[in-house]
A and B are shown apart, each in its own frame.
Chain A
């Protein structure tokens, strides 16, 4: 597959504990297996305890790239959570960034405790739409069919990303890499199903 831009910059944003690291590793491995020069930039640390998590995925056909996307240089932003998506758009996005976002809110602790306000999903998505031209909402919770297993929503988003044809490795390549990062058996199967649901949703909408 040809890259729409070279370097091609994909940013993933979400909340610590959602599984961003795993999703990023899957995408990076797939891009690398598809023959691209790939860099993945992450930071493990305090984000684990419910903080903001951002992964930088950089792909090129010829250049070895540093692990961080330059300011405002993101081509595709995968938001596993709308508040984190907005936060990342403001630092790393531009008007042409395609934002693929799961509208399922993960409010801060203080907000869930009723201590502070938290913008609702509509407000957040509107703010993103005010900044960029293309926002694709993916109702991952409904598509995952397992509202209790929130981590499956990541695989829905993976599938949806592949369904937009914005990822330079094809969906078979991504699915082939998933077993290296997900436990075999029920867990892998559930994630592959969720992936298919996300993919089908994008391809048919």
Chain B
């Protein structure tokens, strides 16, 4: 990942164009963080990715941790020792951290401690679209939500100040379109990093009975004080006319979508916008002041009706003083995208439709206006592009081997999978192999459960498949569980040497650490050895050998594990280009290829489906699209008539 040089500039006042995630990283640097941790996850990865590259130069410590909970605990330790620290994650990471988050809110913190959580409304690359703001309320922790890249940077600094003043971790919420969007940012100073870590054991952080009620009381008292502070906070802003009769209450990107919607409908004089930069604790007095002055309120937010629910509860308590207002939002269906309220990304057109309802305006400006009605178009339907494994990906080979071995066994066996690049195996690119898939580590966890059902008469068998990073992140406890409870399962770890889906970050098996240093890798097979779990290792690109080994291991009983190890094809190709290594490319011999007389009508194209396997409809033969060949040899080994061979290509 190319580092944006602007992040390390010391000169204050310069304006640069940054990614939202870079702005967040810069904010952390300007706040003087000395420790930064996280786990890769879209849309958050670039924050720590940038910081990792700058850490050695700027003199702070930075690491990709094994999972988000450990990452948070590492950052908390730094905070307890008096340093400013940062932990970053995608929103699902909060689920992994929840146990710690719900105790560290009670013990508090010392040096400023900020957790950045990046949400993915519309689940563009996630298994769900959860709204992190709920965690702020649940844990009673302050949360900030920026609307622009500049605000993201400034809020980071403010977050550290609040955290230190009140001794509480602070959450900052971003969403994918802010994290991966770009905007102008004015740089501030980079401070000297001078604190020396020391944990004062005379003031220990202890979350254990019988102190809970006192700690809880202290936490709520802090929240009341912060609420008062937030009533005056510069990030809670009202834009609009004092005479406006209607109000939009919003946070984050909602503020910009609202502003544009008002502009499109020419309603700027009639509707004001209250942008809540501090969604928790809510600035009640500020909100009450605006509720009293307006007749109609529209809630604009990504994803859940969080502000809507809280503000309506507040308003219910005010009925006797300010009367009853009219509220529009997700509850009444005014704010709804194509899938309904609270589902999918926010956009200007969603706000326009809602405003049209509240203000009785026309929403024509966002309606289609083409030369002809879209529906009358001829049948030129554009097919969807289904995500698939890259050319040369070892997962294609692994899932071919797994699928083949399962079919050859003649038994009823299914695969419990997990998330990462290999998660695509639930689709055609992985031969629809994975039949159950949830969150990090559930692949092994659920297999452990299915395996136990044999005791209750289940005849089906299960094979569990996870990637290397997932294994270290979450699957080890399930492996221990299987060992302890004697589950009869074949576990498979696909080890391609990196956390690939999110950008090839290092993990304990990679042999390198976050700051670029070489470290001894933790090998899956060594762990299994220590656990007395029978283990074997194969290269999935030796596909026939792998099929045999899987077949053999299927016959075994008890927990056993197979490591299918081959480096990520994309990473390998990059390294090869860099070193000018001679590369191999496949080629189909047109004489030997039997065209659609082949198994399944053309094995390499119709079944294997590597991007390099292409079909020439004029000659009726397969060929290799050289733009997409990594020389992995899989189609060479599997072609039923051995029509494909490898040849050297120099660069």
Given contacts A45-B125, A132-B371, contact A70 B180 (CB under 8 A): no
A5 CB → nearest B CB, Å:
12
- Would you call B387 an interface residue if the criterion is a C-beta within 8 Å of the partner chain's C-beta atoms? yes
Among the interface residues A28, A46, A66, which one has the most CB atoms of the partner chain B within 10 A? Answer: A66
**Distance (whole angstroms) from the CB of B18 to the closest CB of chain A:** 11
B606 touches A51 (CB 8 A): no
Q: Please measure, in the bound complex, the distance between the C-alpha atom of A16 and the C-alpha atom of B611, giving whole angstroms.
A: 13
CB contacts (< 8 Å) of A94 on chain B: these are: 368-370
Smallest CB gap from A33: residue in B: B17
Of A41, A118, A133, most buried by chain B (CB within 10 Å of CB) is A41
Flag whether B458 is at the interface (Cβ < 8 A).
no
Q: Report the Cα distance A66→B177, complex, angstroms.
A: 9
Q: Are B349 and A131 in contact (CB under 8 A)?
A: no
CA distance A37 to B381 in the complex (A): 36
Given A49-B390, A64-B259, CB of A40 within 8 Å of CB of B385:
no
CB distance from A53 to the nearest CB of B (A): 9
Number of A-B contacts (CB under 8 A): 176
Contact at B257–A63, with CB atoms within 8 Å?
no
A112 and B614 contact, Cβ closer than 8 Å, known pairs A94-B368, A123-B380: yes
Cα distance A132–B388 when bound, in Å? 32
Contact indicator per residue, chain A 12-27, by CB within 8 Å of chain B (1) or not (0): 0001100000000100
Report yes or no: B182 in contact with A25, Cβ–Cβ below 8 A: yes
Q: How many residues of A contact B (CB 8 A)?
A: 60
Bound form: Cα–Cα A32–B17 in Å: 8
Closest chain-A Cβ to B265's Cβ sits at a distance in Å of 11
B186 lies within 8 A of chain A by Cβ:
no
Minimal beta-carbon separation of A20 from chain B (angstroms): 13
Contact of A95 among B178, B260, B370, B388 (CB under 8 A): B370
Contact of A68 among B42, B183, B347, B602 (CB under 8 A): B347
Question: Which residues on A sit within 8 Å (CB–CB) of B347?
Answer: 66, 68, 70-71
What is the CA–CA distance of A72 and B17 in the complex, to the nearest angstrom? 27
Q: Residues of B contacting A71 with CB < 8 Å?
A: 347, 349, 366, 368
Residues 212-234 of B contacting A (Cβ, < 8 Å): none
Using A43-B180, A49-B388 as known contacts, say yes or no to A64 and B256 having CB atoms under 8 A apart: yes
Inter-chain contacts of B609 with A (CB < 8 A): 109-110, 113
Cross-chain contact A108 with B253 (CB below 8 angstroms) = no
B514 located at the interface, meaning its Cβ lies under 8 Å from any Cβ of chain A in the complex: no
Nearest A-chain residue to B601, judged by Cβ: A114
B377 within 8 A of A: yes
CA distance A83 to B611 in the complex (A): 18
Q: Within A81-98, which residues are at the interface with B (CB < 8 Å)? A: 83-84, 86-87, 90, 93-95
B408 at interface by CB-CB < 8 Å: no
Give every chain B residue within 8 A of A40 (Cβ-Cβ). Answer: 181-183
- Determine whether the beta carbon of A28 is less than 8 Å from that of B182: yes
Q: A39-B182, A95-B370, A110-B386 are in contact. Are A28 and B17 (CB under 8 A)?
A: yes
Inter-chain CA distance A44–B503, complex, in Å, is: 10
Across the interface, B253 reaches (CB within 8 A) one of A67, A83, A116, namely A67
What residues on B are CB-neighbors of A126 within 8 Å? 380
Query: Which residues of B from 358 to 391 have beta carbons under 8 Å from A?
Result: 365-372, 374, 377-378, 380-390
Q: Does B542 contact A (CB under 8 A)?
A: no
Asked if A108 and B371 make an inter-chain contact with CB atoms under 8 angstroms apart, the answer reads no
Q: Is the CB of B614 within 8 A of A44?
A: no
A127 beta carbon closer than 8 Å to chain B: yes
When distances are taken between beta carbons in the complex, the residues of chain A under 8 Å from B381 are 119
Kindly name the residue among A37, A63, A90, A112 whose own CB sees the greatest number of chain B CB atoms within 10 A.
A112
- Chain B residues with CB under 8 Å of A113's CB are 602, 605-606, 609, 613-615
Given contacts A41-B177, A46-B125, A70-B349, contact A110 B370 (CB under 8 A): no
Among residues of B, the one whose C-beta sits closest to the C-beta of A117 is B383
Q: Beta-carbon contacts of B379-417 to A below 8 Å, as 1s and 0s?
A: 011111111111000000000000000000000000000
In the complex, which residue of chain A has the Cβ closest to the Cβ of B616?
A: A114
Sample of 10 further A-B pairs with CB below 8 A, known A46-B387, A116-B383: A29-B17, A38-B183, A39-B181, A43-B125, A71-B349, A94-B368, A112-B614, A113-B613, A118-B383, A132-B370
Find A72's partner among B259, B366, B371 (CB 8 Å cutoff): B366
**7 pairs of residues in contact across A and B, judged by CB atoms under 8 Å:** A41-B177, A43-B124, A63-B259, A67-B256, A109-B609, A130-B372, A130-B377
